[in-house]
Homo-oligomer: A and B are copies of this chain.
Amino acid sequence: MTTPEAREEAVLEAVRKRREQVNDAIPEELPVQRPERLYEASRYLLDAGGKRLRPTVLLTTAESLVDVEPLSSDYRTFPSLDGGTIDIMNAAVSVEVIQSFTLIHDDIMDDDDLRRGVPAVHKEYDLEAAILAGDTLYSKAFEIMLETGADPDRMVEALGILATTCTKICEGQSLDVTFEERANVSPEEYLEMVEQKTAVLYAASACLPAVLLGSDDETIEALYGYGLDIGRAFQIQDDVLDLTVPSDKLGKQRGSDLVENKQTLITVHAREQGVVIDDLVDSDTVEAVTEAEIDAALAELEKAGSITYAKETAEDLVEQGKSRLEVLPDNEARQLLCELADYLIERGY
């Protein structure tokens, strides 16, 4: 029986080893070329860090599918299920590039100043550069996916998943914006929004290797479901962490969601319990809010059972996600995907 700490350590080590390879691949697939300022702005956020969780899900799923020992096969010449090789690293980079594009445009829309501890792209550069950097990453993600070397029919399916994923992310972001002006969002509506805004990219990350390597439809579908489940759990845990992790560790003001009036699973649950969300925090800006205010709000949300509700919902999703992995061969990589799911809701930041 492994302890949560030992499990977290193992997951972090697995993520770190894949992250190093992904970090090497990003400049290869997205070199800074003319016009330099455009590509520098496009790379800025990618180079600023990030855990590379989605690429890790993608690469580990690939390893489980073809039943190889984790980290034993070159991701650039990865064996497919029916002979031949796939550059599965390109698929991993493509997904990370999509993630980066959405963050750059989201930061403009939310007028967030900081991301990954550095200025947001529209602050470091300007609005024009940030819009254009996001737009460039968008098409580059398709170009990078096109270089995986997959058969045309599998490639078409992969590109279709990439396109519908991007559409759903936009739909989710649009719902999120609408929710800020609505006082009666239900937990079900909130979870639907999170599915579209966040979870679909985890779903794409989990099922794309199955598509590219030649799995059957049942496997593709189960992996898509695993990604949707852990992606929703990831977002719920993010909402919990925003309230519970010290600001310096979080890289931004703790409780910023409450200050900025953003809906989370916690607030939509609390509202249903009769908590008046608007009264939880008086301050209107993250600069003005005090730790004492956040602590008082947190206490009220805990009293309403909303923190527990959010945590339990995330735990249920993770269990459901893990159960879907039974379509995979029973191997070390599958075990890692289970541990990764646990990590997403056990992580402290």
Of listed A142, A165, A166, A175, residue having the most chain B CB within 10 A: A142
B171 adjacent to A35 (CB under 8 Å) = yes
- A127: interface (CB < 8 Å): yes
The answer to whether A174 and B143 touch (CB under 8 A), given A109-B128, A135-B138, A166-B135, is no
Chain A positions 122-166 with a Cβ under 8 Å from a chain B Cβ: 127-129, 131-132, 134-136, 138-140, 142-143, 146, 151-153, 155-156, 159-160, 162-166
Name the distance in Å between A103's Cβ and chain B's nearest Cβ: 12
Name the distance in Å between A240's Cβ and chain B's nearest Cβ: 26
Of listed A35, A135, A143, A173, residue having the most chain B CB within 10 A: A135
Bound form: Cα–Cα A87–B167 in Å: 22
Q: Which 5 A-B pairs have the closest CB atoms?
A: A152-B152, A139-B166, A38-B174, A142-B163, A152-B153
A-B contact pairs, 30 of them (CB 8 A): A34-B171, A35-B178, A37-B178, A38-B170, A38-B174, A105-B131, A105-B132, A108-B131, A129-B174, A129-B177, A131-B131, A132-B174, A132-B177, A136-B167, A136-B170, A138-B139, A139-B165, A139-B166, A139-B167, A140-B167, A142-B142, A142-B159, A143-B164, A146-B159, A146-B160, A146-B163, A152-B155, A152-B156, A156-B156, A159-B159
